[in-house]
Amino acid sequence: MDQLLSFSVAFWLLAGLGVLITGISKSGFAGGVGVISVPLMSLYIGPVQAAAIMLPLLILMDFFSVRAWWHSKRVDLLKIMVPGAIVGILVGYWLFDYLNDDILRMLLGVLSIGFALWGLLKGSRLGRSNSPVVGYIASTLAGFTSFIAHAGGPPMNFYLLPMKLPREQFLGTAVVFLAIVNFVKLFAYGALGQINTDNLLVGLVLAPIAWIGTRLGLVIHKKLDDQLFYRIILWMLLIIGVKLIADGFW
- Domain range summary for the chain, segments of one domain joined by +: 2-249
Average pLDDT over residues 8-18: 90
- CA distances 151 to 32, 37, 144, Å, are 9, 9, 8
**pLDDT reading at 227 higher than 50:** yes
Per the prediction, the chain carries an average pLDDT of: 82
Residue whose C-alpha is closest to residue 155's, from 184, 192, 181, 187? 181
Q: Is residue 13 very low, low, confident or very high in pLDDT (cuts 50, 70, 90)?
A: very high
Mean pLDDT lowest among 25-34, 69-78, 109-118, 151-160: 25-34
Helices (H), 46-131: 47-69, 75-95, 101-120
Average pLDDT over residues 29-37: 63
Q: Is residue 10 very low, low, confident or very high in pLDDT (cuts 50, 70, 90)?
A: confident
Q: Is residue 93 very low, low, confident or very high in pLDDT (cuts 50, 70, 90)?
A: very high
Residue 114: what pLDDT? 80
- CA–CA distance, 28 with 150 (Å, rounded to integer): 17
Backbone angles phi, psi at 119, to 5 degrees: -70, -45
Residue 89: what pLDDT? 96
Angle 213-63-211 from CA coordinates, rounded to 5°: 25
Q: Is residue 159 very low, low, confident or very high in pLDDT (cuts 50, 70, 90)?
A: confident
Mean pLDDT lowest among 30-34, 56-60, 143-147, 201-205: 30-34
Residue whose C-alpha is closest to residue 34's, from 156, 170, 204, 127? 156
Residue 97: what pLDDT? 82
Write the pLDDT tens digit of every residue in 103-138: 877 877 787 788 778 777 865 444 455 688 888 998
Residue 4: what pLDDT? 67
Write the pLDDT tens digit of every residue in 184-217: 999 999 999 888 888 899 999 999 999 998 888 8
Residue 101: what pLDDT? 73
Backbone angles phi, psi at 193, to 5 degrees: 75, 20
Average pLDDT over residues 57-73: 88
